[in-house]
Amino acid sequence: MANFLVLSHKHTLFPLAWSLRGAGHNVQVLVRKDRYEKAWEGLFEKHLVGRDKGPANMQALVELAEGGELFVVTDSPAWEEKFKEAPRLFGNGGSGDDPLGVAQIGAWWDGEGYKVPHLIVRDVGAWAGNQGPLVSSSAGCAWFNGNAMPESFVSVMDGLKDHLKSLEFKGLVRVGVKINHDGTVSHVNHSTGWDVLHLHLLLSGVENVGELFVGEVKVTHRYSFALPVSIPPWPYLVNMAAKEVEVKGLSVEMRKSVGWHDVRKVGKTIMTAGLDGLVGVVRRSSDHPTRCIGECLEVAGSMDVEEKQFRSDGGGLFARVVMELDRVRV
């Protein structure tokens, strides 16, 4: 059992905190933007809120972290800077370019090498048919068995190692790539840190996410898929709050497939929390890509929430890319 301090800028890291706590770790959560402390009310007791972000308490946490007593996980640049001397810091690193292209190579960088490498294929465009704002509206993941990447991917990832070491970074890495017709791979750009869909693929695909921070970890299946479900104003970054409405329609079993974000619990009812409108991300894993896609679409379709938005055609590109990779044997 380890001690984690999860410092979330908004609500991105709440599902990770929930998974770590479920694995038996001690977890404390702090939210950078006060408004987002409303997320997860009644679902996850946040140990540190409001006044605990004062200078004295933060300095005490910094000292604990610098002494190696805390694993510090953050997507906040300001808090990453504050805890930069902590030996167990897992932040955004240099961030780099946002690889919004279709195909990315993903992995966990432990400071020396890669763990659980995988291929990510995203749908880009908020609405069906790749229409609307250029955001990632679904993501599929093919895990490489035995942690062995195909040779055509290895040289691309090896080229980043010195850069990642210079950042003294540990955490998630994404490398945007172009998969050529002959099966070769070209590097396009890269980014580091806690991308929301990448995080959910990780939470769905690995056996115990806490093990990533302290040792080796196993993947559960060959493929994972993540599908955001939202209401307006998502994905627009505007000074407008989402409606506070009830989230219905899901069985107890279906709820287990959802990583919640802009929600809170009132009694026994799940409500949206009136924040940015990203209700949650449905995620599933399977040994067959079309199965995990279909299961996510079923859960997203069953969720009953006013003005619901999700990619009803999500995952089609992922399934086609997986078939093409099998054909050319990348």
Q: Which of 90, 123, 145 is the last residue of a domain?
A: 90
| Residues 268-326 pLDDT 10s | 899 999 999 999 999 999 999 999 999 999 999 999 999 999 999 999 999 988 877 66
Q: Residue 71: left if φ>0, alpha if ψ -120 to 50, beta else—which one?
A: beta
Asked if residues 204 and 227 have their Cβ atoms less than 8 Å apart, the reply is no
Beta-bridge partners for 43: none
Strand duo 3-8 + 71-74: pairing: parallel
Asked if residues 260 and 228 have their Cβ atoms less than 8 Å apart, the reply is no
Q: Does a structural domain hold residue 168?
A: yes
- 240 compared with 52, residue with greater pLDDT: 240
Q: Is the same domain home to 80 and 159? A: no
Q: Is the same domain home to 185 and 242? A: yes
The one-letter amino acid code at 273 reads A
Q: Which of 90, 117, 139 is the last residue of a domain?
A: 90
Asked if residues 292 and 224 have their Cβ atoms less than 8 Å apart, the reply is yes
Q: Is the same domain home to 109 and 76? A: no
- What domain range includes position 189? 103-328
The model scores a pTM over 0.85: yes
Q: Is the same domain home to 11 and 44? A: yes
Give the pLDDT band (50/70/90) at residue 8.
Answer: very high
Q: Does a structural domain hold residue 118?
A: yes
| Residues 14-51 pLDDT 10s | 999 999 999 999 999 999 998 998 998 887 665 544 45
H or E stretch at 205: helix 196-205
Q: Is the same domain home to 186 and 129? A: yes
| Residues 61-106 pLDDT 10s | 999 999 999 999 999 999 999 999 999 999 988 666 665 578 899 9
Q: Is the same domain home to 73 and 151? A: no
3-class SS at 296? helix
Tokens, residue 29: 């959560």
If you average pLDDT over each of 149-163, 178-192, 314-328, which comes out highest? 149-163
